[in-house]
Chain A
Amino acid sequence: MNFEDLTIEKAHQSLLKKEFSALELTKFFLERVEKENPKIFAFLKIDEKSAITQAKKIDEKILTGQKISYLAGIPCGIKDNILVEGLECTAGSKILKNYIAPYDATVVKKLKEEGAIILGKTNLDEFAMGSSTEYSFFGPTKNPIDLKRTPGGSSGGSAAAVAANFCLFALGSDTGGSIRQPAAFCGIVGFKPTYGAVSRFGLIAFASSLDQIGPMTKTVRDCEIVFEAIKGKDEMDSTSIEIPSSSHSTTLSLKDIKIGVPKEYFIKGIDPEVEKVVKKAIKKYEENGAKIEEISLPHTEYALPCYYILAPAEASSNLARYDGIKYGYSKNSKLKTQNSKVKSQNSKVLDVYFESRGEGFGPEVKRRIMLGTFTLSAGYFEAYYLRAQKVRLLIKKDFEEAFKKVDFIFTPTTPTPPFLLGEKLKDPVLMYLSDIFTVPVNLAGLPAISIPCGKIGNLPVGLQIVGPAFSDFRVIQIAKFYET
């Protein structure tokens, strides 16, 4: 049996037909990860024992003729800012090294109920802050397509794991593009659902008005399967909402579809090759009957500065909990006290905060906490934070106006193909710019998918499809046209 070109859909059929067992499937991926992961570093941790136990359980179900769901026996990876009970959950940070998750995130609980096999936790930029996975305390992930290049970020570990065929799908989180940008860079499918469509209970918070969990898969159909399994209102996350299930959405015909292409997304700064590939993909929709219309989203250029006020402001508040007192890295630990008796006798609780945070956080996380603290501080609040909230409203209204005229908006996912490792590390603003096309969607809370739409040499290019709020399954459906 060839495990190389498997998708969730195919693997599910094969499991039902008993062409291979869940155990065989799981062992194939475990062995592959063991052999290949050191060179790519997509996974931070593997939980072999539990994966094998779970796989055996699914095989028993199949043998005894019980009904199994789509994800039963399907090996997956979970971004390491999502809690899996009993496993270390680091968020890619020194401050959470050795922190053991005390419970399952709602999405993990749902995947386990479906019978998915969790192989382990995937690498990310520290606290999901970054666009290359190079800000992980544990070291960078490499792009499986070209090891000299970054897989993107922050869900770079999840994207690389799927692209390297270490698992059949992975979960990521997307605050400003962290699912879509790495999906584009690794040539896979990445979906950021409507804000609130997937519960975030058990997701380590970065910027709560923007964070969203979503699937990263090989095909759009697989993306639909995973999204169907993880979505839904959850009493543990009061921002969560119920969106209609896929069976309720009507079938789309390209002939009735109007696609908007915003002119602000095709300006200087975009790689001309990327533009060519994306325009060709849009052309394909036109040739199949869709109407293409140039539209304008006039506040696009302000989305990124707006994001870099709001997201750090929320982060500075969310990350205040890492204080060295309750859990995680602490300059208060017994070990440390024994080593420096004199100091500990004189130190106060304030020193524990300062030292634990100073040593526990990496440079990008410090920058963002500092930035957020600054924009929220007395005298600056109105000029930065309040203004940014108003601009956010304008950005949201841009999209609302556009969706009065068109059904979907098509853009490139990223302005460039995957960049080299180290290329943007020296200039934080340059790194921020790689999310310029994905950030506006988070600010507006909309669903958007990135699908591979062509290549420059061997480097993949992503097409981003954005829909109105709650049109998640329609976005998925329109993305499917490209695959067929």
Chain B
Amino acid sequence: MITEKEIKHIAKLARINFKKEELKKFQQEFSKILDYIERLKEVDVSKVEGDFQKAFLKNVMRKDEPKEKFKLEITKKLIEAMPETQDNYLKVKKII
């Protein structure tokens, strides 16, 4: 079973706040899921060359040129969706 300390560490990496009372239940469920995915270790992958991504995916390149499509109108909407702005800039809390 995964420890509470480990869960807290993953939560920190994932930037998710857990309430204390949430944590215990989460730890149990999470352990059950981990047990389930552990089953993958039964598969012999020693002879598999490469993997899915290497076998089937390739880069699609295009020129990095500005397009007409996204006009000011959309920029305006994106700014409107921001939780806090000042003079059309996104406002964030103190970082340093």
Binding site for B on A (CB under 8 A): 99-100, 102-103, 209, 235, 238-239, 299, 301-302, 304-306, 308-309, 316, 320, 323-328, 330, 332-334, 347-355, 357-359, 361, 363, 366-367, 369-371, 373-375, 377, 383-384, 386-394, 396, 427-429, 432, 443, 445
- Contact A349 B39, beta carbon cutoff 8 Å: no
| CB of B77 within 8 Å of the partner chain | yes
Known: A389-B53, A390-B48. A354 touches B83 (CB 8 A): no
Contact (A302, B39) CB under 8 Å given A327-B82, A393-B51: yes
| Given A305-B39, A386-B51, A396-B52, residue A373 in contact with residue B14 (CB < 8 A) | yes
Determine which of B26, B34, B40 lies in contact with A391 in the assembled complex, contact meaning CB atoms within 8 Å: B40
Q: Does B66 contact A (CB under 8 A)?
A: no
Closest chain A residue, CB of each to CB of B13:
A373
Q: Are B33 and A429 in contact (CB under 8 A)?
A: yes
Chain A residues near B1 (CB-CB < 8 A): none
In the bound complex, how far is the Cα of B80 from the Cα of A206, in angstroms?
25
Contact A393 B37 (CB under 8 A): no
Partner of B77, one of A100, A367, A388: A100
> Can you report 12 A-B residue pairs in the complex whose CB atoms are below 8 A from each other?
A102-B78, A305-B39, A306-B40, A308-B37, A323-B15, A326-B82, A332-B92, A388-B40, A394-B45, A428-B32, A429-B33, A445-B56
Please, how many angstroms separate the alpha-carbon atoms of A333 and B85 in the complex?
Answer: 10
CA gap between A310 and B30 in the complex, in Å? 16
Question: Which of A353, A366, A370, A393 is the one whose CB lies under 8 Å from B52?
Answer: A393
Partner of A309, one of B18, B37, B45: B37
Point out the residues of chain A lying under 8 angstroms from B37, CB to CB.
Answer: 305, 308-309, 371, 375, 384
Report the nearest B residue to A386, measured CB to CB.
B51
Cβ contacts under 8 Å, A333 to chain B: 83-84
Partner of B93, one of A239, A348, A358, A388: A348
Contact across chains for B45 and A390 when beta carbons are under 8 A apart: yes
Chain B residue nearest to A326 (CB atoms) is B82
Report B3-20 residues with CB < 8 Å from chain A CB: 7, 10-11, 13-19
* Docked-complex contact B93 and A351, CB < 8 angstroms: yes
| A305 and B62 alpha carbons, distance in the complex (Å) | 36
Given contacts A302-B43, A333-B83, A370-B11, 9 further A-B contacts (CB under 8 A): A100-B77, A103-B74, A305-B38, A325-B83, A332-B83, A367-B26, A370-B7, A374-B34, A427-B32
**B81 close to A102 (CB less than 8 A):** yes
Choose among B40, B45, B48, B53 the residue that contacts A305 (Cβ–Cβ < 8 A): B40
Find out whether the CB atom of A393 lies under 8 angstroms from the CB atom of B50. yes
Beyond A392-B52, A396-B56, whether A377 also contacts B93 by CB under 8 A is no
Contact (Cβ within 8 A) A371 B30:
yes
A377 to B52, CA, bound (A): 20
Which of B11, B34, B45 sits near A387, CB closer than 8 Å?
Answer: B45
Query: Which of the residues B15, B29, B50 comes within 8 Å of A354, measured between beta carbons?
Result: B15
Alpha-carbon distance A396/B33, docked complex (angstroms): 24
The CB with the most chain A CB atoms within 10 A, among B18, B36, B93, is that of: B93
Q: Which residues of A contact B33 (CB under 8 A)?
A: 308, 367, 371, 428-429, 432
Contacts of A387 in B (CB 8 A): 40-41, 43, 45
Contact between chains at A348 and B95 (CB < 8 Å): yes
Report yes or no: A349 in contact with B52, Cβ–Cβ below 8 A. Answer: no
A365 to chain B: closest residue by CB: B16
Contact A361 B93 (CB under 8 A): no
**How far in angstroms is the closest Cβ of chain A from B85?**
10
- Assess A354 versus B16: contact at CB under 8 Å? Given A103-B74, A308-B37, A384-B37: yes
Whether B43 contacts A394 by the Cβ 8 Å rule is: yes
Contact B45–A370 (Cβ < 8 Å):
no
Closest to B93 in A: A349
Could you tell me the distance in whole angstroms from the C-beta of B23 to the nearest C-beta in chain A? 11
Cross-chain contact A377 with B10 (CB below 8 angstroms): yes
Does A428 contact B45, Cβ atoms closer than 8 Å?
Answer: no
Residues in chain B near residue A316, CB distance under 8 A: 14
A58 to B80, CA, bound (A): 33
For A239, give its contact among B7, B60, B78 (CB under 8 Å). Answer: B60
A352-B93, A386-B51 known; A305 vs B10 contact (CB < 8 Å)? no
Output the residue of B14, B45, B74, B80 with the most chain A CB within 10 A.
B14
Q: Which residues of B contact A325 (CB under 8 A)?
A: 83, 90, 92
Residues in chain B near residue A373, CB distance under 8 A: 10, 13-14
Given contacts A308-B36, A393-B55, is CB(A377)–CB(B13) below 8 Å? Answer: yes
